């Protein structure tokens, strides 16, 4: 379907039904396409006027549209339907309607007794890693991967959404910082780096993997310094101190030298005794590879997808979901 560019066409084509979410930059509605009857999500992004009366966008609308177009057709990235700008400066982006966010699903699951199986986590991570790889291959870093920016469809498949903070890698660093959401930010972002790459997304996906297994975020700092302290409490300080970009900043936390991550996600043989979520050796290799503090040694999403954890999986269980 070709993208619509005339704002009047976009607005008249879709009928707003109800509000799905709202924030500082706009509102997302559930809407209906008058032509096809399809139910869609309609993101209306507000603008504001500066002190000189000039209209200023409150989001990187054009960048989000460009990233979505570059990823058109991928099954694990939300697909665009139409977009346009109104005379008052409001921008409208229409996308496929998917379902609740992964955050909402995890909150519902938290009250249950049964954890996701490792196979279920493996399928979910295959989808998220595949979507992120498509973005990286197209020359974009998402920069804000988190459960709130992942949607879950009726079959349980995951789709990456909210590409408003994407960074094109067509231009070299420096890139903006701070970016993203603290609990899912890579250590180099927390340390102020502007010379980062797509491996910041790999870290965020490692945080999501840990949350899928444990049903709660692994690192929950209330400030950047506290967040970094929680990270080194679990992963140790040796790795981040070997990063060439580390400038000797003081690190909060216990500051042990080595990682204790395996204790949080023990082998299936030890998990019942420790009352922790079990994780196979292959699965732990992926998790620890993604959650490597030193970005120069961190596993990329492409490397993760080639890991034996996915090759050892029931191939049919992955294939039918792709």
Model confidence pLDDT, tens digit, residues 135-144: 999 999 999 9
d(CA 229, CA 251): 6
According to the model, what pLDDT value does residue 60 have?
77
Domain boundaries along the sequence of the chain: 10-96, 102-319
What's the pLDDT tens digit per position in 219-243? 999 999 999 999 999 999 889 888 9
Order the strands of the 26-33 sheet from edge to edge: 14-23, 26-33, 39-45, 91-96, 80-85
Task: List CB contacts of 129: < 8 A, sequence separation 6 or more.
Answer: 205, 301, 304, 305
According to the model, what pLDDT value does residue 244 have?
87
159: number of CA atoms within 13 Å, CB side? Answer: 24
Distances (CA, A) of 73 to 80, 99, 149, 256: 9, 18, 18, 45
According to the model, what pLDDT value does residue 134 have?
98
One DSSP character per residue, 126-139 reads HHHHHHHHHHHHTT
d(CA 210, CA 6): 43
- For 10-96, which CATH class? alpha beta
Active site residue 144: yes
Q: Provide the token pair at 79.
A: 């697909």
d(CA 322, CA 320): 6
d(CA 4, CA 8): 10
d(CA 45, CA 17): 17
Question: Which residues lie across from 151 on neighbouring strands?
Answer: 101, 159
Are the beta carbons of 82 and 12 closer than 8 angstroms?
no
Helical axes 199-214 vs 102-110, angle rounded to 10°: 30
Q: Between β-strands 158-160 and 150-152, what pairing exists: parallel, antiparallel or unpaired?
A: antiparallel
* The one catalytic residue among 88, 144, 162, 201: 144
129: number of CA atoms within 13 Å, CB side? Answer: 26
Positions in the chain short of pLDDT 50: 1-6, 55, 315, 320, 322
d(CA 91, CA 201): 27
According to the model, what pLDDT value does residue 175 have?
97
d(CA 193, CA 138): 23
According to the model, what pLDDT value does residue 48 have?
57
According to the model, what pLDDT value does residue 37 have?
96
d(CA 105, CA 102): 5
Residue 276, sorted as left (phi over 0), alpha (psi -120 to 50) or beta, turns out to be: beta
Query: Does the domain at residues 102-319 carry the CATH identifier 1.20.140.10?
Result: no
């Amino acid at each position: 379907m070709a993208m619509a560019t005339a704002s009047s066409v976009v607005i008249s084509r879709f009928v707003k039904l109800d509000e799905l979410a709202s924030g500082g930059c706009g509102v997302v509605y559930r809407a209906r396409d008058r032509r096809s009857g399809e139910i869609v999500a309609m993101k209306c992004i507000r603008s504001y006027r500066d002190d000189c009366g000039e209209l200023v966008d409150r989001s990187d609308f054009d960048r989000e549209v460009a990233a979505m177009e570059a990823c058109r057709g991928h099954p694990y990235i939300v697909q665009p339907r139409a977009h346009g700008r109104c005379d008052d400066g409001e921008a409208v982006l229409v996308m496929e309607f998917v379902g609740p966010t992964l955050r909402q699903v995890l909150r519902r699951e938290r009250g249950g007794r049964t954890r996701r199986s490792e196979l279920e986590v493996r399928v979910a991570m295959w989808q998220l890693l595949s979507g992120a790889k498509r973005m990286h291959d197209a020359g974009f870093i998402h920069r804000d991967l988190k459960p709130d920016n992942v949607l879950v469809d009726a079959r349980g498949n995951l789709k990456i959404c909210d590409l408003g903070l994407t960074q094109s890698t067509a231009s070299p660093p420096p890139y903006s910082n701070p970016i993203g959401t603290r609990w899912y930010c890579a250590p180099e972002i927390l340390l102020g780096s502007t010379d980062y790459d797509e491996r910041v997304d790999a870290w965020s996906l490692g945080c999501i993997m840990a949350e899928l297994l444990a049903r709660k975020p692994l690192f929950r700092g209330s400030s950047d310094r506290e967040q970094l302290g929680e990270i080194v409490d679990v992963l140790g300080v040796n790795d981040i101190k070997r990063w060439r970009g580390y400038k000797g900043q003081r690190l909060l936390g216990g500051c042990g030298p080595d990682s204790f991550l395996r204790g949080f996600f023990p082998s299936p043989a030890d998990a019942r005794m420790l009352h922790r979520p079990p994780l196979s050796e292959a699965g732990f290799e992926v998790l620890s590879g993604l959650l490597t503090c030193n970005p120069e040694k961190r596993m990329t999403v492409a490397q993760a997808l080639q890991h034996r954890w996915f090759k050892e999986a029931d191939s049919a269980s992955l294939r039918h979901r792709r």
